[in-house]
């Protein structure tokens, strides 16, 4: 067929398809029709932000779709996507969906073994990867993944010696696709027309705090409807600016960077590299931003360290205005009444401190920011809200296509995760577990009906595995993982995560693991934060040679002991938890690390694994010994392993007396 016949005999009307808007490929058509000239994707390359309009993105995706089809990718087959956030990788997902294939994004920093599991389990025939690093990993596991046939790489750097016939550059595939589209002008739209909302849109493997990862199957409806509900709830428009920097294999990134972007039509920017995120953030100045608590925590730590190094005047000014902000900032943000004088001072602070600070952090234009994943420290949360940033906590899961609850504007409480979002029903099961039902509820775990039936009831309710309570105001409060909530020997409730979070809110503590279930008392393993404690040590002229050396210093032990005592005092205030105060703790000789299997890729503690690995330390904590020798295996970034030997000191901590019931009442009465 000649190229001139392209327009003739078009069987499908693009506008009609776009109007259905029930899959991402159709939303792509819609965006191209409605805002073809507005930017859709942006990436910093060679120091310059490069943009693609929706029209251009449509063209790129069409070329990819046709190229993948020409290479043999068929409807229903799986396509692995591995790499850092890149526009081309996002396009690959929609390109696969356009021809009915299912994208399976894989965490890009997985070691080869983990990658192999997902590729094998998902039966991926094709893989689209960023570059040489990922190609190498795939070549390492390819023999054990017999289904994997074709690998497409975006970036040809370093690939000149790879002669394998199954390796293709994305540019070549797109060229094939363009030639194919010229010969088959109706193909692309015909394929999109075959797609419908109930189709599988994506399979996302959960990082799995326990056991092997599970493939969560989400339909196009799941993703599109949840995205649309959240866009309407928060009033997101095509004018939002976002930076996509969280792993593409994480459900949140999928819903934010594809879901909401395609529904609202806003542009998604990708950072230049993983290391430049903070600079890129500043240049892009997002209006809508998601970050796990850890990111906000790191930002606050950086600000505080930099302020300690600042001159006297700046330090005083910062101190004065931050105190003011803590007092009135959140109230102004929540629309409460504030004295005019304070308002005026706050405005002055905006010019002198808050504005410049927000600008440095890249937060000048933020209208809406979310945090989720774990509890955020009240200090951190208040700090950013006091600056006038509308940070809100949300609660969600992969099985829900993210959103379950969001804190509504003006109803922000540090210890809750907000109320159920549009379309979500919420209830607490008898054992205290939070359950939900929503349009975002996943179809199934891929090839794992057993796990599916364990998690999802026949009438669509999903077990979250989290223990929580719903307050009278409808706000949900999460306490811990339902299965992690245990009891001490004397019957006191022991919620390890709750204690760990309290510990981790101190800047000196990076990670903590609490033990106590079916034990006499609660004890904790703590790893210090090298940056914060290192800085603290420098200020005191305390010399140290390594992480291990620093963590073993008596001064550092004393610092942490103070923190633990503070946590004990907090726990003592709550009659239910007063019995679970920490009696003994140990400082670990290394940071907990996903490469050693101690954390998940999203940096949550793998409790059982840690318990087994550090068995010796735990027995020592409960044997009364004052130190413990250990030898632990570590995995280096290049995959090799080594062992570290250490002699760790165990410290006893005094516990605070629990207020007797009578005293507590008296105290309340006295107020």
Partner 1 sequence: MPKDTSANQTLLHVDNISLSFGGVRAIRDVSFEIKTGEIRAIIGPNGAGKTSMLNCINGFYHPQEGTITYRGQTRKQMRPHDAAAQGIARTFQNVALFKGMSTLDNLMTGRILKMKGSFLLEALYLGPARKQELEHRAFVEGIIDFLEIEDIRRTPVGRLPYGLQKRVELGRALAAEPTLLLLDEPMAGMNVEEKEDMSRFIIDVNEEFSTTIALIEHDMGVVMDISDRVIVLDHGEKIADGTPDQVRDNQAVIEAYLGVSHD
Task: Give the footprint of partner 1 on this chain (CB under 8 A).
Answer: 44-48, 157-158, 160, 272-273, 275-276, 279, 637-638
Give whichever of 160 and 337 is closer to partner 1, judged by the CB atom: 160
CB of 636 to partner 1, least distance (A): 8
Q: Closest by alpha carbon to 302, among 531, 504, 540, 508?
A: 531
Q: 15 or 275: whose CB is closer to partner 1?
A: 275
In 3D space, the residue among 372, 418, 376 whose CA is nearest the CA of residue 397 turns out to be: 372
- Rounded to a whole number of angstroms, the minimum distance from the CB of residue 45 to partner 1 is 7
Closest CA to 584 of 519, 529, 657: 519
What angle do the packed helices 54-71 and 170-183 form, to 10 degrees? Answer: 90
Torsion of CA 151, 154, 156, 159, to 10 degrees: -30
Q: Residue 56 CB, nearest distance to partner 1 (Å)?
A: 22
Please state the closest distance from residue 318 (CB atom) to partner 1, in A: 23
> Nearer Cβ to partner 1, position 131 or 329?
131
- The smaller minimum CB distance to partner 1, of residues 158 and 554, is found at 158
- DSSP code at position 3: G
Closer residue to partner 1 (CB): 7 or 46: 46
CA distance 389 to 368: 7
Residue closer to partner 1, measured from CB, 164 or 279: 279
> If residue 283 lies in a helix (H) or strand (E), which one and from where to where?
helix 277-284
Q: CA-CA distance, 243 to 280, in Å (whole number)?
A: 8
Taking the complex as a whole, the smallest distance from the CB of residue 353 to partner 1 amounts, in Å, to: 24
The distance of closest approach from Cβ of residue 284 to partner 1 in the complex, given in angstroms and rounded to an integer, is: 15
User: Nearer to partner 1 by C-beta: 157 or 343?
Assistant: 157
Of 472 and 638, the one with the shorter C-beta distance to partner 1 is 638
How far apart are the C-alpha atoms of 137 and 288, rounded to whole Å?
34
Give φ, ψ of 374 to 5 degrees: -155, 180
Least distance (Å) from partner 1 to the CB of residue 277?
Answer: 9
Q: Under DSSP, is residue 559 helix (H, G, I), strand (E, B) or coil? A: helix
Q: Are 352 and 321 in contact (CB under 8 A)?
A: yes
Residue number, 464 or 535, with CB nearest to partner 1: 535
- Strand, helix or coil at 63? helix
Closest CA to 362 of 289, 439, 272: 289
Distance of closest approach, residue 618 Cβ to partner 1, in angstroms: 33
Q: Name which of 8 and 275 has its Cβ closer to partner 1.
A: 275
Q: In angstroms, give the least distance from the CB of 242 to partner 1.
A: 20
CA 479 – CA 490 distance, rounded (Å): 21
Whole-number minimum distance, CB 241 to partner 1, in Å?
Answer: 20
Could you give the CA distance from residue 604 to residue 504 in angstroms, rounded to a whole number?
Answer: 12
- The dihedral through the CA atoms of 378, 382, 383, 384 has a sign that is positive
Q: Where are the beta strands (DSSP E) in 160-240?
A: 167-169, 200-205, 215-219
Contact status, residue 49 vs residue 77, Cβ threshold 8 Å:
no
Q: Residue 113 Cβ, how far from partner 1 at the closest point, in Å?
A: 20
Sheet holding 509-515, edge to edge: 509-515, 522-528, 582-587, 641-652, 627-635
Which residue, 43 or 511, is less far from partner 1 as judged by CB? 43
Count of beta carbons in the 10 Å neighbourhood of residue 42: 20
Distance (Å, rounded) from C-alpha 220 to C-alpha 201? 5
In angstroms, rounded to a whole number, what is the distance separating the alpha carbons of residues 77 and 320?
60
* Least Cβ distance, residue 637 to partner 1 (angstroms): 7
Q: Which is nearer to partner 1, 631 or 638 (CB)?
A: 638
Q: How far apart are CA 189 and CA 61, in angstroms?
A: 12
Burial of 291 (0-12, 13-18, 19+ CB in 10 A): buried
- Minimum CB–partner distance for residue 161 and partner 1 (Å): 8
Count of residues making up the chain: 671
Instruction: Give the nearer residue to partner 1 in terms of CB position, either 136 or 454.
Output: 136
């Amino acid at each position: 067929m000649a190229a001139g016949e392209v327009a003739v005999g078009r069987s499908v009307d693009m506008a009609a398809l776009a109007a259905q808007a029930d899959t991402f490929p159709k939303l792509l058509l819609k965006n191209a029709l409605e805002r073809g000239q507005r930017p859709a994707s942006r990436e910093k390359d060679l120091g310059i932000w490069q943009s693609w309009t929706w029209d251009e993105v449509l063209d790129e995706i069409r070329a990819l779709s046709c190229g993948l089809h020409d290479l043999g990718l068929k409807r229903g087959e799986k396509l692995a996507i591995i790499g850092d956030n890149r526009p081309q990788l996002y396009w690959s997902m929609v390109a696969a969906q356009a021809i009915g294939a299912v994208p399976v994004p894989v965490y890009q920093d997985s070691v080869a073994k983990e990658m192999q599991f997902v590729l094998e389990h998902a039966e991926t025939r094709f893989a689209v990867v960023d570059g040489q690093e990922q190609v190498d990993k795939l070549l390492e596991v390819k023999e054990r993944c017999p289904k994997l046939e074709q690998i497409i790489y975006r970036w040809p750097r370093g690939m000149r010696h790879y002669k394998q016939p199954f390796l293709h550059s994305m540019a070549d595939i797109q060229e094939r696709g363009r030639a194919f589209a010229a010969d088959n002008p109706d193909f692309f739209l015909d394929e999109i027309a075959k797609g419908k909302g109930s189709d599988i849109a994506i399979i996302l493997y959960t990082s799995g705090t326990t056991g092997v990862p599970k493939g969560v199957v989400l339909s196009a409806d799941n993703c599109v409807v949840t995205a649309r509900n959240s866009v309407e709830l928060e009033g997101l428009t095509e004018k939002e600016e976002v930076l996509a920097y969280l792993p593409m294999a994480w459900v949140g990134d999928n819903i934010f960077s594809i879901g909401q972007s395609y529904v609202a039509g806003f542009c998604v920017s990708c950072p230049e590299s993983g290391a430049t995120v903070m600079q890129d953030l500043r240049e892009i100045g997002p209006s809508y931003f998601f970050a796990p608590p850890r990111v906000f925590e790191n930002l606050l730590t950086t600000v505080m360290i930099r302020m300690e190094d600042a001159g006297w005047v700046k330090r005083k000014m910062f101190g004065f205005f931050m105190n003011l902000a803590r007092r009135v900032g959140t109230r102004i943000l929540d629309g409460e009444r504030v004295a005019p004088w304070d308002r005026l001072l706050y405005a002055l602070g905006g010019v002198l401190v808050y504005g410049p600070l927000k600008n440095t952090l890249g937060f000048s234009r933020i209208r809406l920011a979310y945090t989720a994943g774990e509890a955020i420290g009240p200090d951190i949360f208040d700090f950013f809200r006091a600056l006038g940033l509308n940070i809100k906590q949300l609660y969600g899961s992969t099985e829900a296509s993210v959103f379950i609850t969001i804190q509504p504007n003006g109803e922000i409480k540090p210890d809750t995760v907000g109320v159920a979002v549009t379309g979500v029903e919420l209830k607490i099961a008898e054992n205290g577990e939070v359950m939900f039902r929503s349009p975002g509820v996943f179809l199934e775990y891929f090839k794992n009906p057993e796990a599916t039936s364990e998690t999802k009831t026949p009438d669509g309710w999903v077990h979250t595995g989290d223990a929580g309570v719903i307050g009278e105001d409808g706000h949900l409060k999460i306490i811990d993982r339902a299965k992690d909530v245990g009891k001490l020997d004397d019957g006191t409730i022991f919620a390890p995560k709750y204690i760990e979070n309290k510990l981790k809110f101190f800047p000196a503590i990076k990670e903590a693991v609490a033990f106590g279930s079916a034990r006499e008392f609660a004890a904790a393993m703590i790893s210090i934060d090298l940056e914060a404690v290192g800085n603290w040590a420098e200020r005191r002229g305390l010399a140290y040679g390594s992480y291990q050396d620093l963590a073993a210093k008596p001064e550092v032990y004393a610092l942490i002991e103070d923190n633990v005592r503070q946590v004990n005092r907090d726990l003592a205030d709550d009659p239910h938890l007063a019995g679970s105060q920490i009696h003994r703790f140990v400082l670990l000789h290394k940071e907990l690390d996903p490469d050693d299997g101690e954390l998940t890729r999203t940096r949550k503690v793998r409790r059982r694994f840690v318990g087994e690995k550090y068995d010796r330390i735990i027995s020592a904590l409960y044997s009364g010994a004052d130190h413990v020798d250990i030898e632990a295996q570590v995995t280096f970034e290049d995959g090799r392993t080594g062992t570290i030997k250490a002699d760790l000191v165990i410290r006893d901590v005094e516990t605070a007396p629990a207020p007797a019931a009578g005293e507590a009442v008296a105290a309340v009465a006295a107020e």
